[in-house]
């Protein structure tokens, strides 16, 4: 895909996702329009472009979808299907969720089967899974709490190499990282527009250095996150994906804090769309581990192995 093709695709996906999200035609509608655009084929042929473009668009439009399930299924070596959900680890977790239960995305509403990783890899009928919609801070996020104890239920699963689960977590972390990047760009756009429009003390508040520096700080965080995502794709190992997800969690908090302060009163109301992105990133932070948990885990690994790898080269 050359740069012009890529730019065209970004624009198309952004418009389609935003349109479907705004139409609010219920669970599965965003998945449906992405399917028409050839999402499954793109994920198979050009996974990096597909994930970068689609998840950034989801984050930017605050759309909820089930495409994370497709990314996870593909990473686990299972052909993704629109009626297949994947059980994700619980909030803040990244161990295989099989015997503890976990989360399902918006895909839960349309799936007929669930792919579950416990001690092995199993596919179970949706009807056997106890599913409760999550309301929480972000009711529009489409998440569900799910419970199925595959390991003790004796479901015939196939053995799974632990490295395959690590690779799937890495794929999930990169995807969610792009979703956070899209969401934080939207927060920054909203705050920037407000700063230029809002007049106090006789001038737009964007003219005050204190406001400008907050917005600059937000952009630095976002650009840093996007660099770690690029490195994670180039490198392809779990550690760079983990660091990108940690950067995503930190970036979401930094950007939300500065943008909310700049948006001030209006950003504290549901009249303004800022709260939607804020709440979505609060939930995304927990998928595959919070920034604090990942940073602690990485730090422990460095200390226990006694080595500090540079990870990426020129």
Partner 1 sequence: MQIEQFRAELTAWLDSHHDEVAPPFAPPGTLDERIAQMQRVKGILYEAGWMRWGWPERVGGLGGSPLLRSELGAAMAARNLADPGVYSLVEVLAPTLIDYADPDLAADWVPKLLSGEEMWCQGFSEPGTGSDLATLSCRAVPDGGDPETAQTWMINGQKVWTSLAQYSQRCVLLTRTGTPESRHRGITAFFVDLDTPGITISPIEMINGELEFTEVFFDDVAVPADRILGGVDGGWGVAMSILPYERSSCFWQRIAYLYPRVQRLVDAVGDDDRAAEAVGNAFLALHTVRSRSRATQHRLAAGATLGADTSIDKVLVATAEQTLYDAIRKCTPGVIELDDSADGDIARIEYLYSRAATIYGGTAEVQRNIIARRLLDLGEEG
- Contact pattern for partner 1 over residues 170 through 199, marking x by CB under 8 A: ----------------------x--xx---
Give the nearest distance from C-beta 256 to partner 1 in angstroms. 17
310 binds partner 1 (CB under 8 A): yes
Interface residue with partner 1, options 127, 152, 209, 270 (CB under 8 A): 209
Nearest residue (CB) to partner 1, 129 versus 232 = 232
208 sits near partner 1 (criterion: CB under 8 A):
yes
Please pick, from the candidates 35, 133, 204, 236, the single residue that binds partner 1 as defined by CB under 8 A.
204
Q: Taking CB under 8 A as the rule, does residue 212 contact partner 1?
A: yes
129 touches 147 (CB < 8 A): yes
Task: Render the chain in DSSP notation, one character per residue.
Answer: --HHHHHHHHHHHHHHHHHHHHHT--TTHHHHHHHHTTHHHHHHH-HHHHHHHHHHHHHHHT---SHHHHHHHHHTT----TTEEEPBPPTT--S--TTT-EEE-GGGGT-SEEEEESSEEEEEEGGGSEEEE--SS-GGG--EEEE--HHHHT---EE--HHHHHHHHHHHHHHHHHHHHHHHHHHHHHHHHHHHH-EETTEEGGGSHHHHHHHHHHHHHHHHHHHHHHHHHHH-SHHHHHHHHHHHHHHHHHHHHHHHHHHGGGGGSTTSTHHHHHHHHHHHTTTT--HHHHHHHHHHHHHHHT--------
Per-residue interface string for the shown chain with partner 1, residues 263-292, x marking contact by CB under 8 A = -----------------------------x
**Minimum distance from residue 259 beta carbon to partner 1 (Å):** 12
Q: Which CB, 19 or 204, lies closer to partner 1?
A: 204
Identified binder of partner 1 from the candidate list 10, 46, 217, 237, rule CB under 8 A: 217
Q: What is the spatial distance between Cα 144 and Cα 109, in angstroms, rounded to a whole number?
A: 9
* Nearer residue to partner 1 within complex by CB, 63 or 241: 241
Applying CB under 8 A, the span of 67-75, 114-122, 137-145, 302-310 interacting with partner 1 comes to 302-310
Judged by CB under 8 A, the chain residues 225 through 264 that form the site for partner 1 are 225, 227-228, 230-231, 240, 243, 246-247, 250
Least distance from C-beta 188 to partner 1, angstroms?
A: 8
Part in contact with partner 1 (CB under 8 A); list of ranges 24-32, 52-60, 223-231, 279-287:
223-231
Task: Report the C-alpha gap between 176 and 244 in whole angstroms.
Answer: 10
Q: Which residues are at the interface with partner 1 (CB under 8 A)?
A: 192, 195-196, 203-204, 206-209, 212-213, 215-217, 219-220, 223-225, 227-228, 230-231, 240, 243, 246-247, 250, 292, 294-300, 302-304, 306-308, 310-314
């Amino acid at each position: 895909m050359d740069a012009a093709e890529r730019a065209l695709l970004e624009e198309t996906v952004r418009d389609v996702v935003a349109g479907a999200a705004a139409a609010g035609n219920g669970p599965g509608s965003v998945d449906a329009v992405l399917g028409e655009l050839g999402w499954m084929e793109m994920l198979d042929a050009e996974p990096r472009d597909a994930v970068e473009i689609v998840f950034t668009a989801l984050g930017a439009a605050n759309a909820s979808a089930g495409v994370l399930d497709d990314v996870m299924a593909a990473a686990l070596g299972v052909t993704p299907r629109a009626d297949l959900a994947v059980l994700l680890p619980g909030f803040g977790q990244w161990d295989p969720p099989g015997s503890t239960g976990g989360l399902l995305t918006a895909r839960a509403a349309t799936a007929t089967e669930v792919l579950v990783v416990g001690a092995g890899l199993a596919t179970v009928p949706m009807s056997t899974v106890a599913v409760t919609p999550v309301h929480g801070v972000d009711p529009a996020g489409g998440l569900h709490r799910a419970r199925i104890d595959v390991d003790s239920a004796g479901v015939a699963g196939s053995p799974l190499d632990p490295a395959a689960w690590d690779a799937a977590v890495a794929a999930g972390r990169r995807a969610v990282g792009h979703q956070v990047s899209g969401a934080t760009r939207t927060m920054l756009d909203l705050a920037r527009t407000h700063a230029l429009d809002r007049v106090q003390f006789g001038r737009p508040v964007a003219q005050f250095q204190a406001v400008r520096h907050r917005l600059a700080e937000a952009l630095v965080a976002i650009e840093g996150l996007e660099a770690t995502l690029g490195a994670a794709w180039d490198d392809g190992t779990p550690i760079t994906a983990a660091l990108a997800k940690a950067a995503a969690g930190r970036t979401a908090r930094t950007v939300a804090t500065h943008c909310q302060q700049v948006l001030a009163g209006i950003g504290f109301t549901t009249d303004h769309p800022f709260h939607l992105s804020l709440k979505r990133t609060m939930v995304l932070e927990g998928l595959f581990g919070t920034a604090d948990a990942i940073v602690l885990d990485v730090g422990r690994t460095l200390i226990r192995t006694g080595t500090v790898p540079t990870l990426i080269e020129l």
